[in-house]
């Protein structure tokens, strides 16, 4: 195991341990504030297509935001985890059209649009555990979103890359590897921070 990977795994454990201390009320309150912050972000207010995800467990909540975007008429794409850990995409049609999937995830029912559907997005909400002062994101380590980011780059697509986090998850520096990509903005319940390349 490389030193970078070991360092990433240590930071992941620490951040997941901190999340495990959050109460359901903490998570719900943060989700409401995150949705309000996100809905004011020009990158999302001007978007016609947003690729997002359904939060689970103690992840910063996305469900209120998904419903608000859907109500605004935004085409919201949600990931569908494939057996090879890559992501297919489907359209969000409301909470009643979410189905349980592997690893405790919720996915959209209905038509699958293919792995390249994400390149049409004006904004991509990425799950994460931390973002640092340079905009480098630390994910969970499965590589699914690394593939998404590589696919966007290969297609010449340049959507706004946005991460929703808790305030303590914006850190001084996260360990990085050559394939890691910076994000454009991070939203926490207390602030929005943008990054320039």
Domain ranges of the chain: 3-194
Q: Are 163 and 187 in contact (CB under 8 A)?
A: yes
- Please name which of 32, 54, 154 lies closest in space to residue 103, comparing C-alpha atoms: 54
Contacts of 114 (CB under 8 A, 6+ apart): 88, 89
Q: How far apart are CA 189 and CA 192, in angstroms?
A: 8
Binding residues for substrate, by number, are: 54, 59
Q: Are 80 and 109 in contact (CB under 8 A)?
A: no
Binding residues for ATP, by number, are: 8-12, 137-145
- Please name which of 137, 146, 190, 106 lies closest in space to residue 12, comparing C-alpha atoms: 137
Q: What is the CATH number of domain 3-194?
A: 3.40.50.10420
The predicted-structure confidence for 38-93, as pLDDT tens digits, reads as follows 999 999 999 999 999 999 999 999 999 999 999 999 999 999 999 999 999 999 99
- Angle formed by the axes of helices 63-71 and 24-39, nearest 10°: 30
Question: What confidence score (pLDDT) does residue 197 get?
Answer: 56
Reported pTM: 0.91
The predicted-structure confidence for 113-129, as pLDDT tens digits, reads as follows 999 999 999 999 999 99
Binding residues, by number, are: 8-12, 54, 59, 137-145
């Amino acid at each position: 195991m490389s030193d970078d990977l070991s360092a990433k795994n240590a930071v992941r454990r620490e951040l997941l341990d901190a999340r495990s201390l959050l109460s359901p009320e903490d998570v719900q309150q943060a989700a409401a504030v995150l949705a309000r912050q996100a809905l004011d972000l020009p990158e999302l207010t001007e978007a016609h297509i947003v690729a997002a995800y359904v939060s689970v467990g103690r992840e910063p909540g996305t469900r209120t935001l998904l419903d608000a975007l859907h109500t605004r008429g935004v085409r919201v794409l949600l990931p569908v985890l494939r057996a090879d850990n890559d992501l297919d995409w489907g359209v969000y049609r409301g909470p009643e059209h979410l189905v349980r999937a592997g690893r405790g995830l919720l996915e959209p029912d209905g038509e699958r649009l293919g792995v390249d559907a994400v390149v049409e997005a004006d904004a991509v909400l990425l799950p994460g555990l931390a973002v640092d002062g340079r905009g480098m994101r630390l994910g969970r380590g499965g590589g699914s979103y690394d593939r998404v980011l590589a696919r966007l780059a290969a297609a010449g697509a340049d959507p706004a890359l946005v991460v929703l986090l808790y305030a303590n998850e914006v850190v001084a520096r996260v360990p990085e590897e050559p394939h890691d990509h910076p994000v454009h903005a991070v939203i926490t319940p207390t602030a929005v921070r943008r990054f320039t390349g």
